[in-house]
Amino acid sequence: MLHVDHVSFRYNNSPVLEDINLKIEKGEHVSIIGESGCGKSTLLKIIYGLLHVEVGALFWNDTQILGPNFNLVPGEPYMKYLSQDFDLMPFITVEENVSQFLSVFEPEKLKERTQELLEMIELTDFAKVKVKNLSGGQQQRVALARVLAQRPEVLLLDEPFSHIDNFRKNGLRRNLFGYLKKKGVTVITATHDHNDMLPFADTVVVLKNGKVIAKDSPKNLFEHPKDLYIAGLFGEANKIPINIIKSYADTQREIIVYAHEFKVSQKSGLEVEVVRSYFKGGYFMIEGVYEGLPIFFNHETALDSHKKVFLNVSIETINQRLNL
């Protein structure tokens, strides 16, 4: 188990992380999610032992992770950290980069394993190409294979798909996270893309201004977002007093409603005026307004500006949000 035990951290004078306390089981896949600058990369660097921690401590099983003031070479041998800069050897080929850490005493195994990793990153056709001649996204895929070749017990991934186009991203996510689960690798991924996390993570840790504000399964977090910050990590969301959606409700409480949870009716419901429609591919996101309150909802077609429509939210959704 990895234990981040009440860690606080500051660069110079500015506090970045405050009292982070996390327990991560062996083989667990944890996503650290939050807006840019909330401290995700800093937390990964601390776990890897790249930054010196003065407040709190970190442990892998019962061994303390001591950090740069105690280790000559930064980083722990059982962990690998894939940072935003890829740490590749530009003048050698893709397969040489990937196989560099494999044993040369078992040439058959080396070949097989290199092939397996190249297949996973879908770069077998580029095996003999020098890394310096690859695109940024291709280099990021090689960097992934290179850390995996080192068979880490704990893998720290900082925005692992940031340079990779959408066309490849989905397949690569499935390949990589499926592979890591099968091998029982403990994975901690920093991301702000919910697609990296919703289908794959066991646990999601939400950071805001350097503090953990939620820790839960992706499903629970999605279904019971306790504020707009958390809901906003998953998509467009609204915070709305219940009694404007259900006039009989005798509470002023506000609930989070995702844009996709509104149903449009021509007859009854919350009357909103359409401001603008945004094409989103398979649907339109409509910006509407109710007594000065902006409301975002989805609809199959664009709606004319100034048109009046009625919005409804199912009682199941309301109950789900009330039972936080």
Nearest distance from C-beta of residue 161 to ligand ATP, angstroms: 13
* Closer by beta carbon to ligand ATP, 24 or else 295: 24
Residue selected from 36, 268, 301, 323 as contacting ligand ATP according to rule CB under 6 A: 36
Q: Which residues pair with 2 in a beta bridge?
A: 24, 60
Evaluate whether 219 touches 228 at the Cβ level (below 8 Å): no
Is-contact 164 137, C-beta < 8 A? Answer: yes
If one asks whether residue 74 binds ligand ATP (CB under 6 A), the answer comes out as no
Nearer to ligand ATP, 42 or 203 (CB): 42
Print burial letters for 274-307: b (CB count within 10 Å at least 16), e (below 16).
beebeeeeeebbbbbebeeeebbbbbeeebeeee
* C-beta atoms surrounding 170 within 10 Å: 13
- Can you tell me which of 40, 141, 194, 321 binds ligand ATP, judged by CB under 6 A? 40
Contact criterion met (CB below 8 Å) for 157 and 32: no
DSSP state of 36: T
Does 38 contact ligand ATP by CB under 6 A?
Answer: yes
By the rule CB under 6 A, 16 interacts with ligand ATP: yes
Q: Is 31 in the site for ligand ATP (CB under 6 A)?
A: no
SS3 state at 17: strand
Give strand ranges (E) for 159-269.
186-191, 203-208, 211-216, 237-241, 254-258, 262-265
167 makes contact with ligand ATP (CB under 6 A): no
Please identify, using beta-carbon distances, which residue of 7 and 117 lies nearer to ligand ATP: 7
Going across the sheet that includes 308-313, the strands are: 262-265, 308-313, 270-279, 284-290, 293-299
Q: Is residue 39 part of the contact set for ligand ATP (CB under 6 A)?
A: yes
Of 15 and 171, nearer to ligand ATP (C-beta) is 15
**Interactions with ligand ATP, residue window 239-268 (CB under 6 A):** none
Nearer to ligand ATP, 232 or 241 (CB): 232
Is 189 a binder of ligand ATP (CB under 6 A)?
no
206 near ligand ATP, rule: CB under 6 A: no
Contacts of 28 (CB under 8 A, 6+ apart): 186, 187, 202, 203
x/- map, 130-159, ligand ATP, by CB under 6 A: ------------------------------
Q: Token pair 């919350």 is at which residue?
A: 270
Is residue 41 a contact residue for ligand ATP (CB under 6 A)?
yes
- Cβ of residue 213: shortest distance to ligand ATP, in angstroms? 13
Binding site for ligand ATP (CB under 6 A): 11, 16, 34, 36-42, 190, 192
